[in-house]
Chains A and B, each alone.
Chain A
Amino acid sequence: MRLEMGHIHIKDIRFSEESKIVDGVLFVCEDEIRKIVLEDEKIKSVTFDIAKPGESTRITPVKDVIEPRVKVEGRGGIFPGVIAKVDTVGSGKTYALKGMAVVTAGRIVGFQEGIIDMSGPGADYTPFSKLINFVMVCEPEEGIEPHHYEQAVRLAGFRVAVRLGELAKELTPDETKVYETCGIKEGIEKYPDLPRVAYVHMLQSQGLLHDTYVYGVDAKKSLTTMMSPTEIMDGAIVSGNCVSACDKNTTYHHLNNPVIHDLFEEHGKTLNFVCHILTNENVYLADKMRSSDWTAKLCRMLDLDGVIVSQEGFGNPDTDLIMNCKKIEAEGVKTVIITDEYAGRDGKSQSLADADVAADAVVTGGNANQLIRLPKLDKVIGTLDYVTKIAGSSADAIMDDGSYEVELQVITGATNEMGFNCLSAR
Chain B
Amino acid sequence: MGKLRVVHYINQFFANIGGEEKADFPAELRVGEVVGPGLAFKASFKDEAEIIATIVCGDSYFNENLETAKAQILEMVKAQNPDVFIAGPAFNAGRYGVACGTVADMVSSELGIPAITGMYEENPGADMFKNKVLTIATKNSAAGMRDAVAKMAPLALKLAKNEKIGASCEEGYMPNGVRVNFFEKERGSKRAVKMLLSKLSGKPFTTEYPMPSFDRVDPNPAVKDMAHARVALVTSGGIVPKGNPDHIESSSASHYGEYDISGVFDLTSDTYETAHGGYDPCYANQDADRVLPVDVLRDLEKEGKIGKLHEKFYTTTGNGTSVASSKAFAAEFSAKLKADGVDAVILTST
Contact = CB atoms under 8 A, between A and B. Distances in A.
Q: Do A and B bind each other?
A: yes
A337 B278 CA distance: 23
A202 interface: no
A385 interface: no
A361 to B, nearest CB: 5
Main secondary structure on B side of the interface with A: loop
Interface centre among A147, A356, A416, A422 (most CB of B within 10 A): A422
B80 interface: no
Interface in B181-226: 181-193, 195-197, 199-200, 205, 207-215
Interface stretch (A37-45, A97-105, A257-265): A257-265
A210 B279 contact: yes
Contact of A424 (B178, B188, B197, B215): B188
Contact of A426 (B180, B249, B251): B180
B109 interface: no
A366 B181 contact: yes
A362 interface: yes
B113 to A, nearest CB: 21
Interface stretch (B133-141, B317-325, B336-344): B317-325
Given A314-B320, A369-B322, A308 B188 contact: no
A297 B297 CA distance: 43
A208 interface: yes
A422 B187 contact: yes
Nearest to A346: B178
Interface in A334-392: 334-336, 338-339, 341-357, 359-370, 389-392
B2 interface: no
A35 B320 CA distance: 39
A348 B168 CA distance: 14
Contacts of B335: none
Contacts of B213: 355
A124 B183 CA distance: 10
B107 to A, nearest CB: 22
B247 interface: yes
Interface residues of B, number: 59
A182 B185 CA distance: 32
A390 B277 contact: yes
Interface string B267-286: 00000000011111111000
A422 B184 contact: yes
A145 B280 CA distance: 11
A266 B200 contact: no
Nearest to A365: B188
Given A419-B187, A419-B189, A362 B247 contact: no
B272 to A, nearest CB: 17
B179 interface: yes
Contacts of A111: 250-251, 276-278, 281
B254 interface: yes
Interface of A (DSSP majority class): loop
B175 interface: yes
Given A258-B188, A390-B250, A421-B187, A263 B208 contact: no
Given A334-B199, A394-B249, A409-B251, A344 B208 contact: no
Q: Which of A146, A336, A339, A370 gathers most chain B CB within 10 Å?
A: A336
Contacts of B263: none
B193 A308 contact: yes
B23 interface: no
Nearest to A206: B279
Nearest to A309: B192
B264 interface: no
A209 to B, nearest CB: 4
Given A111-B281, A349-B323, A426-B208, A334 B184 contact: no
A197 interface: yes
A266 B279 CA distance: 38
Contacts, number: 240
A47 to B, nearest CB: 26
Interface residues of A, number: 84
A54 interface: no
B72 interface: no
B7 to A, nearest CB: 28
A365 B192 CA distance: 11
Contacts of B251: 111, 244, 391-392, 407, 409
Given A355-B211, A355-B214, A347 B188 contact: no
Interface in A299-318: 305-308, 314-315
Nearest to B284: A208
A4 B150 CA distance: 50
A424 to B, nearest CB: 5
A146 B212 CA distance: 39
Contacts of B249: 393-395
A363 B195 contact: yes
A422 B185 contact: yes
B227 interface: no
Contacts of A209: 279-280
Given A355-B211, A424-B182, A425-B181, A418 B189 contact: yes
A69 B14 CA distance: 67
A310 to B, nearest CB: 8
Interface in B123-175: 167-170, 175
A271 interface: yes
A212 to B, nearest CB: 15
Contacts of B209: 339, 341, 351-352, 362, 364, 425
3 closest A-B pairs by CB = A419-B188, A419-B189, A344-B322
6 contacts: A111-B281, A146-B282, A261-B189, A336-B199, A361-B207, A420-B188
Given A349-B322, A418-B188, 9 more contacts: A243-B278, A265-B193, A306-B200, A334-B199, A334-B200, A347-B178, A368-B320, A419-B187, A423-B181
